[in-house]
Structure 1
Amino acid sequence: MKKIILLACLAAMPFSGSAQKLPLDQKQLLQDIKVLAADSMQGRLSGTEGSHMAQEYILKRFNQIGLKPFNGSFKQYFKIESKRLSVEQATNLVGYIPGKSGKTIVVSAHYDHVGVRNGEIYNGTDDNASGVGALLAAAAYFKKNPPKHTIVFAAFDGEELGLQGANAFLENPPVMLEQIILNVNMDMLSINSKGELYASGTYHYPQLKPHLEQVAPRLKAKLLIGHDKPEQGSDDWTTQSDHFQFHKRKIPFVYFGVEDHPHYHKPSDDYVNINPDFYAEAAALVIDFLKIADKSFLKSQ
């Protein structure tokens, strides 16, 4: 009888992570990624009408959330010169939530993708409407739960053309570079059949590892650490997204993303192919880490 009672109690207990309430509005998260990955956005190639439409949507969401602009504007203009494309007026979108410490975390995700090729729209749902949706979810969380440190939310343009938006941001930062003590970059969070989200960066910044290890697994998503060692070759993600521009300036980073999948840089990277529950919990894991970082990691900086 005691064994039966014990088994009944265990069955009634939630699985690890399942009792954790999501620190975000899942419906809004999915709406954000769906809108940004719509055919009407034409693949969000820098300098195109689709890019401008994406900008307007992100700006609307910044205002709804209540982010503050720097110097009266969320827009940071810059010029793109690359082998593939020249853009006279590319646009980063940058807002912030003020803290009291005088130090800053930059949360980033690029909103551009590769546009239309051979008549096919590359919607870039995972790459990287998913990162922008998670960025907006994190902004909404910290607007309601003010951080100790200022958090800048940066939706970068020009990542697909050589990480140029992140470079422009750091060449003309809205705060002094010395104040930026951490970059949390998100690029591809919504497609993984194994429920695995990777955090890259601790090889270079080992002080981050204990804080990542505090992030509890969720029912449909678990956090793995890796993909950041030079000997891993193409599996070393250090240079593969906007966080590399921070790393070049010796600013610690954590890059959150999934491993490559069959839809990467393909026309099939559409909303219908994401894993919605995994995506919501992956975005929640990023927020979980930001909460820990704001309270723990930054005390020693």
Structure 2
Amino acid sequence: MLKQIALVAAFALCTAVPGLSQKAVLDKQQLLRDLKVLAADSMGGRLSGTPGNKMAQEYISKRFSQIGLQPYNNTYNQHFRLESRRIVVEQATNLVGYIPGKSGKTIVITAHYDHVGEREGQIYNGTDDNASGVAALLAAATYFKKHKPKHTLIFVALDGEELGLQGANAFLNNLPVPKKDMLLNVNMDMLSINNKGELYASGTFHNPALKPYLEQVDPRPEAKLLLGHDRPEQGQDDWTKQSDHYQFHKRGIPYVYFGVEDHPHYHKPTDDFSNVNTAFYPDAASLVIDFLKVADKKLGKK
């Protein structure tokens, strides 16, 4: 009995030591706080070029600074001209910060912060699409700031996704690091509304070498990882072209896109914080960080 107690105590001690657990731990309250702020009515749906979009920029930039992300050329802002059939924005803005690694190679983590704004007097807050991805990006940055990565991690909050993936295109046309050094894009778009506990990782059809890394990600109590939504024969269920990762894919950069399946609140005024599954979402964000841990460790090995 005493021997059993000693073994239990030793096990508890090991699991309590930071860095020995395989699963990342994030600050759930901060994650939900970031989500709620970005999805507030005061931001007016964050349409590119609007005051609400500018408010989101300022909030994300402040959080980058608090986390301790380093800027390129002394600024997080990457400005670009955005033009669509609906609007022209002379100064749309991506926000870019990084955590230096040791290898000289990079992994780019992306999530778009813009949404569709207001329509017919109703605010489309875009809580899931895609304040959820941005809040998870901030959580990942916080984790890796405390746990130094092997590769340099570049965190990019993208503008102009809803108007044709234009922020991702602008980022890739003005890279802060050589394209040849980019090992992977991890894109997050819609992580917080799902009642089946299912988060999808899309992209292994095009990037089969990444499948073993995803298979090493263990389920969380409220969320499990499924692979799929990336085969051409799936039509609209093929997510290859449906978010910012497509711009990376077009340029031959491997990607994994994390997201949930469509739900009744997608691109509706009801995509509000009140509909977030607050048990599922933190675990979904944690699954992405767990994958990033594996990818950072394994990628680039000869």
Output the TM-score relative to the length of structure 2: 0.92
> Match for 1:161: what amino acid?
L
Letter in 2 for 1:36: L
2:253 counterpart letter in structure 1 = I
Q: CA RMSD for the aligned pairs?
A: 1.0
Of 61, 64, 79, which aligns to 2:63?
61
Shift of 1:21: 6.1
Counterpart residue number, 2:301: 299
> Partner residue of 1:186?
188
User: Retained in 2: the 8 A contact 1:20–1:218?
Assistant: no
Matches within 5 A, 1:31-180: 31-180=33-182
Alignment deviations for residues 224-273 of structure 1 (CA, whole Å, 9 cap, x no partner): 00000000000000000000000000000000000000000000000000
Mapped partners of 1:43, 1:20: distance in 2: 37
Whichever residue aligns with residue 140 of structure 1, its letter is: T
Matches of 2:55 and 2:295, distance apart in 1: 33
Q: Distance in 1 between matches of 2:197 and 2:158?
A: 26
Q: Which residue matches 1:242?
A: 244
Structure 2 counterpart of 1:183, one-letter code: N
Partner of 1:199: 201
Query: CA separation in 1, counterparts of 2:265 and 2:251?
Result: 32
Pairwise CA distance, 1:84: 1.4
Deviation sequence 1:174-214 (CA, Å, 0-9, x none): 11111111000000000000000000000000000000000
Amino acid at match of 2:221: L
Over 6 Å off, 4+ runs: none
Change (3 A) 1:71 1:204: same
State the identity as a percent.
73
The gaps in structure 2 that reach 5 residues or longer are 1-20
What is the CA distance between 1:298 and its match in structure 2? 3.0
User: Which region of structure 1 is more displaced relative to structure 2, 60-69 or 19-28?
Assistant: 19-28
Give SS of 1:259's match. Answer: coil
The 5 Å alignment of 1:206-217 reads 206-217=208-219
Alpha-carbon distance in structure 2 between the residues aligned to 1:191 and 1:116: 21
Cα distance in 1 for residues equivalent to 2:228 and 2:79? 34
Equivalent residue, structure 2, for 1:9: none
- CA distance, structure 1, for counterparts of residue 251 and residue 179 of structure 2: 9
2:45 maps to a residue whose letter is G
For this pair of structures, how many residues does the alignment match? 282
Give the Cα separation in 1 of the matches to 2:148 and 2:128. 28
Give CA deviations for 1:88-121 in whole Å, capped at 9, x if unaligned: 1000000000001010000000000000000000
Gaps of 5+ in 1: 1-18
> For 1:298 and 1:234, how far apart are their aligned partners in 2?
33
